[in-house]
Structure 1
Amino acid sequence: MKKVFLLSLSLIVLAAFQPPKSAPKAVTMSKTALQNKIKGGWAGQVIGCTFGGPTEFRYPGTMINDYQNIPWYDGYIKHTMINNPGLYDDLYMDLTFVDVFEKEGLDAPTASHAKAYANAEYMLWHANQAGRYNILNGINAPESGHWLNNPHADDIDFQIEADFSGLMAPGMPNTAAQIGDGIGHIMNYGDGWYGGVYVGAMYSLAFVSSDINYVVKESLKTIPAQSTFYQCIADVIKWHAKYPNDWKQTWFETQRKWADEVGCPDGVHVPFNIDAKINAAYIVIGLLYGNGDFTKTMEISTRCGQDSDCNPSSAGGILGTMIGYDKIPAHWTMGLKEAEDIDFKYTTMSLNDVYQMGLKHALQVVQKNGGQVSGDNVTIAVQTPKTVRLEQAFTGHFPIEKKTIQKELTDEYTTEFDGIGFVLMGNAGAARQSAPRERSNANYVFNAELYLDGKRVETAKLPVSFTSRRHDLFWKYQLPKGKHSIRVKVLNPNPEYTIRMTNLLTYDNKPIKANL
Structure 2
Amino acid sequence: MQTRYLTNWERVQLELIQAKEEGKDIKDYDEKVKSIENEPYENREKYSGALLDELNNLPVKDDFPFNEPNTLEEIKNNISEFPKMDICIDDEIIYDKIYGAWLGRIAGNWLGQPLESYSMTMGKNNIKAFLIEIGKLPLNEYIDFNLDDKIYRKFRLDNNLKKYSYNEGHSPEDDDINYTVLCLEIAKKYGKNFTSEDVAEAWLNNLPILHTCTAERVAYSNLCQLIMPPKSAIYRNPYREWIGAMIRGDLWGYINPGDPWRAAEYGYRDASISHTRNGIYGEMFISAMLASAYLFDNPIDVINTGLSVIPKESRLKVAIQDVINWSKIEPDWEKCLNKIYEKYGHYNTTHTINNACIVALSLIYGNKDFGKSICLAVMSGLDTDCNAATVGSILGLMIGAKKLPAKFIQPICDTAMTGVYKYNVVKVSDLAKETLNLIKKD
Alignment TM-score, normalising by the size of structure 2: 0.70
Alignment pair present for 1:62 and 2:124: yes
Partner of 1:358: 435
Q: Distance in 2 between matches of 1:206 and 1:25?
A: 11
Q: Distance in 2 between matches of 1:104 and 1:247?
A: 43
Q: Distance in 2 between matches of 1:25 and 1:187?
A: 30
Q: Distance in 2 between matches of 1:125 and 1:90?
A: 11
From 279, 284, 290, give the equivalent of 2:360: 284
Task: Label 1:332 to 1:132 Cα distance change in 2 as closer, same or farther (>3 A).
Answer: same
Q: Secondary structure in 1 aligned to 2:356? A: helix
From 18, 42, 64, give the equivalent of 2:102: 42
Q: How many residues align?
A: 326
Deviations 1:233-254, CA, capped at 9 Å, x for gaps: 11111111110x2111111111
From 196, 212, 232, give the equivalent of 2:299: 212
From 210, 230, 248, give the equivalent of 1:161: 248
From 158, 168, 171, give the equivalent of 1:79: 168
Unpaired runs of 5+ residues, structure 2, are 1-82, 145-163
Deviations 1:195-215, CA, capped at 9 Å, x for gaps: 111111111110011111111
One-letter amino acid matched to 1:326: K
Once the two structures are superposed, the pairs formed by residues 133-152 of structure 1 within 5 Å of their partners are 133-146=221-234, 149-152=236-239
Partner of 1:346: 420
Higher helix share: 2
The structure with higher relative contact order (CA 8 Å, sep 6+) is: 2
CA contact (8 A) 1:118 1:133 kept: no
CA contact (8 A) 2:96 2:400 kept: yes
Q: Distance in 1 between matches of 2:218 and 2:84?
A: 41
Deviations 1:52-103, CA, capped at 9 Å, x for gaps: 1111031234243152536628995562847x42xx2111122112112212
From 79, 86, 104, give the equivalent of 2:190: 104
Once the two structures are superposed, the pairs formed by residues 221-260 of structure 1 within 5 Å of their partners are 221-243=308-330, 245-260=331-346
The higher radius of gyration belongs to 1
CA contact (8 A) 2:187 2:194 kept: yes
Q: Distance in 2 between matches of 1:279 and 1:150?
A: 20
Task: Label 1:24 to 1:190 Cα distance change in 2 as closer, same or farther (>3 A).
Answer: closer
1:256 Cα deviation from its structure 2 partner: 0.7
Task: Label 1:172 to 1:179 Cα distance change in 2 as closer, same or farther (>3 A).
Answer: same
1:184 Cα deviation from its structure 2 partner: 0.6
1:107 Cα deviation from its structure 2 partner: 2.0
Deviations 1:465-513, CA, capped at 9 Å, x for gaps: xxxxxxxxxxxxxxxxxxxxxxxxxxxxxxxxxxxxxxxxxxxxxxxxx
From 401, 404, 419, give the equivalent of 1:328: 404
Q: Secondary structure in 1 aligned to 2:124? A: coil
Partner of 1:94: 180
Q: Secondary structure in 2 aligned to 1:28? A: coil
Alignment TM-score, normalising by the size of structure 1: 0.60
CA contact (8 A) 1:93 1:117 kept: no
Once the two structures are superposed, the pairs formed by residues 330-409 of structure 1 within 5 Å of their partners are 330-336=406-412, 338-340=413-415, 342-349=416-423, 350=426, 351-364=428-441, 367=442
Moved more, 109-118 or 128-137: 109-118
Partner of 1:195: 282
Q: CA RMSD in A?
A: 2.2
Q: Distance in 2 between matches of 1:178 and 1:201?
A: 9
1:326 Cα deviation from its structure 2 partner: 0.7
Partner of 1:32: 92
Unpaired runs of 5+ residues, structure 1, are 1-22, 262-266, 268-272, 368-516
CA contact (8 A) 1:166 1:176 kept: yes
